[in-house]
Amino acid sequence: MQADRPRWSFEVKIVISLILFAFFIYLLFRFSIVIPPFILSVILAFILSPLVGFLQARLHVSRLIATFLSYLIMLALVVVIPMVLVPLLANQVSRVDIDLQNVVQKIEALIGNQKIQLGGVTIDMTTLFDQAVGSLQGMIEPIVTQSLDLVIGVISSVVWVIFILVISFHLIKESDKLNRWLESLVPPSYRQDYIWLREQINEVWSAFFRGQIVLSVLVAILFITIGLALGLPFALGMGIFAGLLEFLPSLGHGIWMVTAALLAFFLGSTWLPIPNWVFALIIIGLHLFYQQFDLNYLIPRVIGRSVNLPPLVVILGIVSGAVLAGILGVVLAAPTIASARVLVRYLYANLFDLDPYGVRITDPTQPPNLQWWRRSKKEVKP
């Protein structure tokens, strides 16, 4: 390289940066349909990476073979779990038609021949209910009859599933090369900061995903056991539903409680000889107690302190995530906020000449010592 090679001026760098940023935004808008499946691919790769590392170390095989074995294990679980659960659920789901008829009959009995007077106009509640049921049937029938759209939707879903599996497979297999490539893009003076931030954010997402899976399994087992003991209708399905809703902090609690309370009120207990409204109150009371136990003990214990956000922040994050990214934004709201907290703390420390690793910088001109942080991160938390 020539010593007198001209360098870009500050204005040229700003213009090039703005052009690249505009092009990046255009790509995001143009290929927005690919973003959710790609995010799911990254999540799947992130979850399976520890299993791949474990198989690679224990079996002394290449990363390609370890990745292939991990996917075989995952696919085996996907096949075996439904084979075990479907027969158990089918026994309960077979009563859905009868139970739904009972619900409709109880609603009709509750409404009766009641009439409401509004501004001199008489509203017959029975007629209004019949019209609502007829409208609902009219909405469902076209959906059922559109078999072609259903087939196209199924094919599209299968294509996206294959896309997610293929991309995640390559992300895991090439993870070492990808990490080295990303590190090479960072200026040498900031490379240690990049590695530190990557490890911090990795801890956040590891605590969330792996901890959330363990938490969901524990909650599902707990709710199935209590549901069977109390005689909650569809106890097995409601227990699995509760485990899945653990991925929606705070919001999931409300969804499950409303659903269980409605089942308890209209169907009652399968064996307890108590009125339905009393059974519904018992379900609500137990769930309110569990909610406090979950928020104050289970989540901090299982998921860890890295994602220990205040409930108000989580709720606001869920609402914002739903507006920005739909259901995917709701599920990933908590770890995204926790990751943003790591970045904000790092920016704050650099803006005010503080050490982003937790102590004040003695010489701001010297780069931080990553090895010191690795030795001291147990004593000094950023």
Q: What is the pLDDT of residue 90?
A: 61
Rg (CA), the chain: 27
Tens of pLDDT along the chain (382 residues)? Answer: 455 677 888 888 899 999 999 999 998 888 888 888 888 888 888 888 888 988 888 888 888 899 999 999 988 887 777 676 666 666 655 554 445 556 556 655 655 555 555 555 555 556 655 666 566 555 545 544 555 555 566 667 778 888 888 899 999 988 889 889 989 988 888 888 999 999 889 888 888 887 888 888 999 999 999 999 998 888 888 898 899 888 876 778 888 998 899 888 888 888 888 888 889 999 999 999 998 888 777 777 777 666 777 777 777 887 788 788 777 787 788 888 889 988 998 999 888 888 877 644 444 444 444 443 444 444 444 4
The answer to whether 237 and 259 are in contact (CB under 8 A) is no
Which amino acid is located at 303 in the chain?
I
Q: What is the pLDDT of residue 19?
A: 94
Q: What is the pLDDT of residue 374?
A: 42
Tell the burial category of 18 from Cβ atoms under 10 Å away from its Cβ (0-12, 13-18, 19+).
exposed
Q: What is the pLDDT of residue 31?
A: 84
Q: Give the C-alpha separation, 305 to 271, whole Å.
A: 41
Q: What is the pLDDT of residue 124?
A: 58
Q: What is the pLDDT of residue 159?
A: 80
Q: Name the residue among 242, 240, 215 with its Cα closest to residue 303.
A: 215
The phi and psi torsions of 6 (rounded to 5 degrees) equal: -70, 145
Identify the DSSP state of 8.
P
Q: Is 122 helix (H, G, I), strand (E, B) or coil?
A: strand
